[in-house]
Chain A
Amino acid sequence: MLVVLLGLSVLFMVEPVVEDYPDDARVFPQLTAAVVFIGSVLLLLRNYLPEPLHMFVAESVSIASTDTSEIAEGEAEFEEPEPADENEEYTKETLGSQYGYEVNETAFMVVTAILYFVGGWAAGFLFVTPIYILGYTLWFRVNPVISVVLAVLGTVIIYLFMTYLVLPFDQGHIFDFSPFLPLLLDGVSAPIIGGGP
């Protein structure tokens, strides 16, 4: 986390100099980046700071009380909250685990969301949404009937977005399946389907 913060703050301090931003576009981002940079360096080096500064960087302070308690050495950055209850320790049964593949649930959620985003950009959310919802729910072994119902519901939501907010969710940047839409929606006339410019 600190490495990311340091990298970002250096970028925001250097870029305006390299690209020669005018003063009114440069000062504010550089000032804020400087704060992030100094704060991150202090957090990174907190164990080597002299006592008064170390206390300021590592202490947990609350406005509600004057009682201050020091964060344990080396814990400030890498501390992780303890699970709130046994619910958080639960491991879900997945399609992968059936075949011996164990995938972290959070990682699976993020990767599938990124794939959904890329798929939506490439082929349009309207066509990718049912695949994403079906894939996600079936991976976690949800009842197939419920999966299909959710996929239909998600697609209807996207379709409503597309129709009422005139968004091009039926068109992708690589694949354009919009001409097939009237065929899929047999009986629905093309002009009311919507679609973007």
Chain B
Amino acid sequence: MTAVEAFFEGLSIALSWPTVGWLAVGMMLGIVLGALPGIGSPVGMAIVLPLTLPLDSTAAIILLAAIYSGAMFGGSIAAILLNAPGTESAAATTLDGYPMAQNGLAKNALAIATTASALNGFAAAILLIILSPILIEVVLAFGSPEYFLLAILGISLITIVTQGSIVKGIVAGALGFMISTIGTAILSPRPRFTFGQFGLYNGIDFVAALIGMFAFAEMMKLATQKQISQSDLDIGGSVREGAKTVFKYPMTTLKSGLIGMGIGMIPGSGATTSTFVAYAEEARSSAKDGKFGDGDPRGVIAPEGANNPTVSGSLIPTLSFGIPGSGSTAVLLGGILMHGLQPGPVLFGEQLHITYALFISLFLSNVLIILVGLTVIPYASRITEIDTTLIIPMVVVLSFAGAYTLNQNWWDVGAVIVLGILGFYMVRYNYSVIAFVLGIVLGPIAEENFFRSLQISGGEYTIFVDPVNQPLSFLLSFAIFAVLFGPFLKGRAQRLLDRA
């Protein structure tokens, strides 16, 4: 199947019923979940993930991606109206979005967020489709050693991107790998760490782990809060004027979109990074005439224009190499694997039409964001006034039922609780939950490719660092070293220079 044929087949899938219906449902759900601070897209996607089991694989992935995309916009609602970002990625929007709302321009700020997010979102989706033939070539150059090293690189990047102790990040990622080895071994029929419990022979389902780490842990955190947020802010301003504002600053919009997509493409980075970088760049370049922090519309355009392109960008490492850039893409990757799809050459070869269907759906979901976003703005704040006491038991019920649905195994439900508690304390003590989740999701892939590499090399570990026969592996090993030790060594060198 040629790329053109695959594109048109993807187009027909994306526009077919009920796929397009699931896209709309996912996008609406995403907006609502994204608007709830503390819930956000990873939690929502993790809860919905097991419910997608009866769906066709393409429809399921499109539903999850639409939730992700919708949540990116939804997160800005609470950020602007309540100064409480619905998702981490919307944190940068609060800097100027909330002051705008306080200045009586809440509708303007929400319309700016909607327009910038959607406009750049569908531009990025188009760019993604254009870039995909190049991606195919890159993906096909990778073998077992490279896939193993990419998994390590992904965790290393997450360790660095989520600020904190590098060692804690590495420990979290290795712990995820470790937990993924529970159950029957991949290359031999030997049960591991099951302690005679038949229910553990299939291991801990990574979807149950995702539900625990995101949904259950988040509910533990929300348990101490009365309601999602408390504010009596009036929504003033004009939706039309807000939408027009985005077109007054075309360079800001374009630049933030490119920053968003570029950072999204880096494995391990997410919209939290891209939105802050876009905001910082706009504040830097417009410092002369800007009122950043006091309600400058460019302070909303920049982060919101970056968030949705990050979704498109992050799909590149997720679909190409199975390395998600954030919690949400980790859940999306979980969905891809759960539905029997394999990231890498297959998704860019015989299943290219599915990949295109996903890209086209992203484009369509951004059109829907414009339509829905601009109409729900006047009612937006109601979502965030829900009492957490009502949400928590419902999420627990859905989480347990969802986890049991995976394999009809009570161990999966137990894993939700155990890993939820673990996740809660990991967040409290600054261990990277994303690195841990990535370890669990990528563990089987990393282990399989690790052993295949050793089989190819006859047990020689040099296959991972051989610059002559395995130049790509060598480059990846060097990249891992540079990522883990580079900032540290650079900081040390800088300090020595300063002292000198």
Contact = CB atoms under 8 A, between A and B. Distances in A.
Interface of A: 1, 4-5, 8-9, 11-12, 15-16, 21-22, 24-25, 27-29, 32-33, 35-36, 39-40, 42-43, 52, 55-64, 66-68, 71, 76-81, 84-85, 87-88, 90, 92, 105-106, 108-110, 113-114, 116-117, 120-121, 125, 129, 132-133, 136-137, 140, 142, 146, 150, 153-154, 157-158, 161, 164-165, 167-169, 196
Nearest to B166: A61
Contacts of A78: 429
Contacts of A116: 396-397, 400
Contacts of A87: 84, 225-227, 229-230
Secondary structure call for the B interface: helix
Contacts of B421: 110
Contact of A43 (B167, B216, B225): B167
A5 B451 CA distance: 26
Contacts of B401: 125, 157-158, 161, 167, 169
A15 B175 CA distance: 16
A36 B396 CA distance: 30
B170 interface: yes
B178 A32 contact: yes
Contact of B193 (A4, A12, A150, A161): A12
Nearest to B190: A25
A153 B390 CA distance: 12
A105 B390 contact: no
Contacts, number: 220
B244 interface: no
B341 interface: no
Contacts of A196: 408
B488 interface: yes
Contacts of B39: none
B181 interface: yes
B392 interface: yes
B165 A71 contact: yes
B413 interface: yes
Interface in B159-188: 160-161, 163-168, 170-171, 174-175, 177-178, 181, 185, 187-188
Given A88-B225, A121-B410, A150-B390, 14 more contacts: A1-B425, A22-B185, A27-B451, A43-B165, A60-B164, A66-B490, A87-B84, A87-B229, A114-B417, A120-B400, A125-B397, A125-B400, A132-B396, A167-B404
9 contacts: A11-B193, A25-B185, A33-B178, A58-B165, A63-B483, A81-B427, A117-B400, A132-B396, A165-B53
A81 B428 contact: yes
Contacts of B166: 56, 59, 61
B394 A150 contact: yes
A38 B130 CA distance: 45
Nearest to B451: A24
A24 B167 CA distance: 27
Interface in B253-274: 273
Contact of B389 (A35, A56, A92, A110): A92
Contact of A32 (B177, B221, B223): B177
Interface of B: 53-54, 84, 157, 160-161, 163-168, 170-171, 174-175, 177-178, 181, 185, 187-188, 190, 192-193, 216, 219-221, 223-227, 229-230, 273, 277, 387, 389-390, 392-394, 396-398, 400-401, 404-405, 408, 410, 413-414, 417, 421-422, 424-431, 446-447, 450-451, 483, 487-488, 490-492, 494
A146 B451 CA distance: 55
A16 B193 CA distance: 8
Contacts of B53: 165
A105 B223 CA distance: 6
Contact of B396 (A56, A113, A161): A113
B405 A132 contact: no
A66 B223 contact: no
Contact of B163 (A21, A40, A61, A129): A61
A165 B54 contact: yes
B160 to A, nearest CB: 4
Nearest to B414: A117
Tell which of B389, B410, B414 has the most Cβ of chain A within 10 Å.
B389
Contacts of B387: 142
Given A59-B165, A105-B223, A85 B84 contact: yes
A87 B219 CA distance: 15
Nearest to A68: B491
Contact of A61 (B160, B174, B175, B220): B160
A153 B394 contact: yes
A120 B410 CA distance: 10
B488 A61 contact: yes
A105 B221 CA distance: 9
B491 A12 contact: no
